[in-house]
Amino acid sequence: MHVPDTPLSFPSRPDDLITARPEGLYCPPGDFYIDPWRPVDRAVITHAHSDHARTGHGHYLAHQDSRGTLQTRLGEIALQTVGYGEGIVHNGVRISLHPAGHVLGSAQVRLEHAGRVWVASGDYKTEPDGTNTPFEPVPCDTFITESTFGLPIYRWPTQEQLFRDIDAWWRANAEAGRASVLLCYAFGKAQRILHGVDASIGPIVVHGAVEPLNAVYRAAGVALPPTLRVTDPGVTPALLKRALVLAPPSAQGTPWMRRFGNYSDAFASGWMQLRGTRRRRNVDRGFVMSDHADWPGLQKAVAGTGAERVFVTHGSVAVMVRWLTENGLEAQGFKTEYGDEDVADAPAPTEQTPPQGPE
């Protein structure tokens, strides 16, 4: 398969609303950045994952549902928040945030200035999952999209199928008297699993890294079943044999896991769709689950904006740019320092076909 060279930064035009700077995505007329990776005075933050929300900025603007997660991760910051669709004007640029369907408070950033409209998507997912406001396409001239899973092989199971599979695995383990340890990211995935599983199967125990984020989701009105910590009274070895245990991937192989005895383990990630990932993670089961759009979702999202010009930030940049170009759009890659909460699980580039774009 031939993959054309991808320009890593695009030649900016004098009237571009967003350009590349070493600090991050920059809006020249507004004099602010979007998800900058180096400290700046003013930052608009799409969501609280660590590669998009960093410490050290002078002022932060984010969605109101990101307040709790940003403060959990960054401590006290100078933060202004807005609701979805609520516009504010800064240096003549109208800024508004729109649902991205990725994690609680995640937003696309819409900029309007002198008759032009640009939208920077941040990370997004097109299928609703019940734990955050569903993605909405925002009409624009120019769209900046992620492409974490921008290869045709990535097609997610429906929510319904995913939770049927997770529930069946948990139920079978509970009947056999062993704990079900599901490794997943503490912010976003863990709450989505809690919201989606059948809590009547047994008790649910969470790692200490997960519970503070559960509290933020509950405070935002997201329905989550009761959760226990291993230190809670009443959490006995007998109870653990029927439990679903949610822990971050970093807990794998640590002494914290010993209390679960002869448990079954699983990993929830979009990368589980790739052959070999489950074996490499050394777990019994892999569940294909992502906070990002799959290949059909990315295509639907781009088409939904009506944009004529598209920039691709992270993930399978070259493949996505080629697809967009073949479909008559003006498309280019855009070098950023965004990774992803899932990138730690991503296979080495040599294991992937076709090759990945830069990250």
- Point out which residues bind Zn ion (CB under 5 A): 49, 123, 338, 340
In 214-275 the beta strands, taken as DSSP E runs, fall at 244-247, 264-268
Closer to Zn ion at the Cβ: 196 or 339? 339
| Residue 62, phi then psi, degrees to nearest 5 | -150, 175
Q: Are the C-beta atoms of 206 and 146 separated by less than 8 Å?
A: no
Query: How wide is the angle at C-alpha 120 spanned by C-alphas 116 and 125, nearest 5°?
Result: 135
Closer to Zn ion at the Cβ: 93 or 301? 301
Closer to Zn ion at the Cβ: 123 or 129? 123
Q: And the tokens for 276?
A: 């070999």
CB of 205 to Zn ion, least distance (A): 26
Closer to Zn ion at the Cβ: 120 or 174? 120
Alpha helices in the chain (DSSP H): 67-74, 159-175, 189-196, 211-219, 237-240, 277-281, 295-305, 317-326
CB of 344 to Zn ion, least distance (A): 12
Q: Is 344 helix (H, G, I), strand (E, B) or coil?
A: helix
Closer to Zn ion at the Cβ: 311 or 338? 338
CB of 121 to Zn ion, least distance (A): 10
Those residues with Cβ within 8 angstroms of residue 234's Cβ, 6 or more apart along the chain or in another chain:
228
CB of 133 to Zn ion, least distance (A): 15
CB of 256 to Zn ion, least distance (A): 25
Closer to Zn ion at the Cβ: 123 or 265? 123
Tell me whether residue 282 is exposed, middle or buried, using C-beta atoms within 10 angstroms of its C-beta: 0 to 12, 13 to 18, 19 or more: exposed
CB of 158 to Zn ion, least distance (A): 21
CB of 141 to Zn ion, least distance (A): 23
Closer to Zn ion at the Cβ: 49 or 54? 49
Closest residue by beta carbon to Zn ion: 49
CB of 338 to Zn ion, least distance (A): 4
Whole-angstrom distance, CA of residue 177 vs CA of residue 239 = 9
Q: Are the C-beta atoms of 103 and 124 separated by less than 8 Å?
A: no
Whole-angstrom distance, CA of residue 127 vs CA of residue 185 = 19
Whole-angstrom distance, CA of residue 288 vs CA of residue 282 = 16
Which run of H or of E encompasses 224?
Answer: none
| Residue 252, phi then psi, degrees to nearest 5 | -60, 130
Whole-angstrom distance, CA of residue 131 vs CA of residue 217 = 8
Closer to Zn ion at the Cβ: 60 or 338? 338
